Chains A and B, each alone.
Chain A
Amino acid sequence: MKKLGLSILTLAGAMALGSANAAQVIKIASMSPLTGSSSDLGLQIRNATEMAIKEQKAAFLKMGFDLQFVAYDDQADPTTGTANARRIAADNSILAMVGTLNSGVVIPSSEVLAPAHVAIVSPANTNPKVTDRALSNMNRICARDDSQGPAGADFLIDTVKVKKVYVLNDKTPYGQGLADAAEARLKSKGVTISFSEGTDEKSDFSSIITKIKQAKPDAIYFGGLYGQVGPFAKQLREAGVAIPVMGGDGYDSPDLLSLAGAGAKDIYFTTVAPPLEAVPAAKAVAARYKAAYKKDMAGFGIMGYDSANVVLAGVMSAIKANGGKLPTRVQVETAVRKTNLTSGTLTGAIDFNSVGDRTTAKMFIIQVKNAGSKLDFSTAGTVNVKVAKQ
């Protein structure tokens, strides 16, 4: 009896040793909110990362590495995010991370991960501060918030061909920042700004609408959130003004359509999360995603998939540079920053400037227009956002 136990132990020990010799473990982490109100978006990032890792498992096994995936839930909360980051930093087999959804989470988390040199590739963090701190481990493949205003302005100038624009903002840092950036771009391209003002009005927009009727602009840029823009657009259309209303990703909610009703027609907004139909290359991936997770792939899934592939390409090139041996975190970090993917991604070529911003990020323009008998979001175009090589 004793002998049998011993031999089983020996056998188990030998097996463990054997597998350790056969493949070294490389873990890639994802961090996003998996519970709470934004878990829908967070799960997209998690699932897409897992999918990308599963697809490349075989390629890594050939090189002698066992690629594993570990998901962290940050609950959209900075404190939980930094606690996760400490755990990631402590687990030496984790070489890089995909995430997060919220800029507020990634900013403190990346500071925890920076001394440990865990590379981060973010699919969704748009706050300028994310990369302005010039951390060596922080990269993102989405556009920056401060490119939203100019992108919206460019679309108005190039596609809607406006000459005169009425600028509004909701008097929050977000809305005012967007509106100011858009206004500056419009002015620099010779568009007349008929008026620019802030308002925190929520229900009665009649005086602003009276002024808009007097000023007769070709379009309105409104830096604000759907809760305010919805009622505004409704009253604007009821007063007989049918010009386009442009804004940022604060409009991106199905509630915009219910709040604005028929007035939602020709509301445009910029967003970094691409709608599925704007990314033809994602069709096959989206089908696999649906088969695996029983849910439709959405914008942050697409971005998460690309982020994971950037990470994996970085790890792979670090392995190659290291002569096929397990690379260090610093080597992976350097390799990720040097990413130069021209194929295999869903959203086009990806490379980073010296602070980790994608040099050719895309901003997607969504338009509300008739889809069958009702109004719905549809893609009106994309604007390329050029970021200076720093």
Chain B
Amino acid sequence: MESLLTDILINGLLLGTLYAIIALGYTMVYGILQLINFAHSEVFLTGAVVAFETFRLLAPDPANPGSGLNPYLVLAIALVVAMIVCGLLNVVIERLAYRPLRNAPKLVPLISAIGVSLILQDVIKLLEGFQGRFQLAVNVPETFTQTVFSVGDTNVKVRDLALVVVAAVMLFSLDRLVNHSKPGRAIRAVAQDRVTAGLMGIDANRMIALTFAIGGALGGVGGVLFAMKFPNLDPYSGTIPGIKAFSAAVLGGIGSIPGAVLGGLVLGVVENFLGVLSSFSFVFPKLSFLAAIGAQYKDVGAFITLIVILIFKPSGLLGRSTTEKV
């Protein structure tokens, strides 16, 4: 029983941390443009593919296992490359697909976001397909899959700790950047009122591009961490985590950065709890009816939670109607 609970909690929080990092990309873009960037799930997948390629290219020679770079250095390279690639990609997407539609009705950029998402899926499929791959098995260095310690019979691996550390560093820097720096203040100003910010001498387009760059970089980091935790990817792997992370952003209150983190964590734990709900029928014979709730209901459960919370708190857990949006 204890092992069941620790399993739910640890797996749920780890998954939730991942959702949180991805959700930040949605929430920041929404905060500044009121646009749901559907392409973000593919930007995030691009980060995962960067991780796949980095681990593949920098893998130690199989004949000589000791060779190759230090795995932590490889991870750092993957993170930096993914941040640059995904940040730039997001800026390019904004420049080509959203900026020309800046003054169009809100549904129009939404549709172009869905279009970008489909294009990116096929570009990834094409690029990897040329090399004869569809399903990508990420070659995660063995160091990261070793167990650090066990709680009950749940093994916590090096990559799980890496996930938490990287996420904490990202959140801390994001907070410094948005709340305690000059560009951050400019971003917040644009989010509040684009026209007035322009009157104050802030170049709104540059700040929007910067927001996309930050969101993309976070997506890239999320992608690398996702690829380490779930090392089997295909060009469509981004969709479901993308929708979940978006739900996490809504759950926490879209536009709010702490909300995205809280929403991610809640969603991760709820999802894991519902996935293993039927196991309680082994533990408590009286609850045998739970056996009918198979693991495939975890996604349904996550979205039901979202709906229930939105019924009682339409602006999300930490969303306020007068919130200062970034």
Contacts and interface: CB of A to CB of B under 8 A. Distances in A.
Given A207-B272, A240-B155, 8 more contacts: A195-B291, A201-B296, A204-B230, A210-B7, A210-B11, A211-B279, A214-B282, A231-B231
A258 B278 CA distance: 32
Contacts of B237: 202-203
Interface in B1-40: 3-4, 7-8, 11, 15
Contacts, number: 91
Given A207-B272, A214-B4, A230-B232, A238 B294 contact: no
Nearest to A206: B11
A231 B230 contact: yes
Interface in A224-240: 227, 230-231, 234-235, 238-240
B190 to A, nearest CB: 36
Contact of A206 (B153, B275, B283): B275
Contacts of A199: 294-296
A12 interface: no
Given A211-B279, A238-B157, A203 B272 contact: no
A211 B295 contact: yes
A219 to B, nearest CB: 17
B70 interface: no
A201 B297 CA distance: 11
Interface of B: 3-4, 7-8, 11, 15, 135, 137, 145, 153-155, 157, 230-234, 237, 240-241, 271-272, 274-276, 278-279, 282-283, 291, 294-296, 298
Given A207-B272, A207-B295, A259-B137, A213 B15 contact: no
A234 B271 CA distance: 21
A69 B4 CA distance: 64
A239 B7 CA distance: 10
Nearest to B280: A214
A210 B8 contact: yes
Nearest to A238: B145
A234 B15 contact: no
B44 to A, nearest CB: 13
Interface of A: 171, 194-195, 197-204, 206-208, 210-211, 213-215, 227, 230-231, 234-235, 238-240, 255, 258-259, 261
A214 B279 contact: yes
A198 B294 contact: yes
A197 B232 contact: no
B279 A210 contact: yes
Contacts of A214: 3-4, 276, 279, 282-283
A261 B135 CA distance: 14
A101 to B, nearest CB: 21
A212 to B, nearest CB: 9
Contacts of B241: 203
A208 B295 contact: yes
A37 to B, nearest CB: 12
A240 B24 CA distance: 33
Q: Which of B15, B232, B241 has the most CB of A within 10 A?
A: B232
A202 B232 contact: yes
Contacts of A215: 279, 282
Q: Which of A211, A213, A227, A261 has the most CB of B within 10 A?
A: A211
A255 B135 contact: yes
10 contacts: A197-B278, A206-B275, A210-B4, A210-B8, A213-B153, A214-B279, A230-B232, A231-B230, A235-B230, A238-B155
A195 B137 contact: no
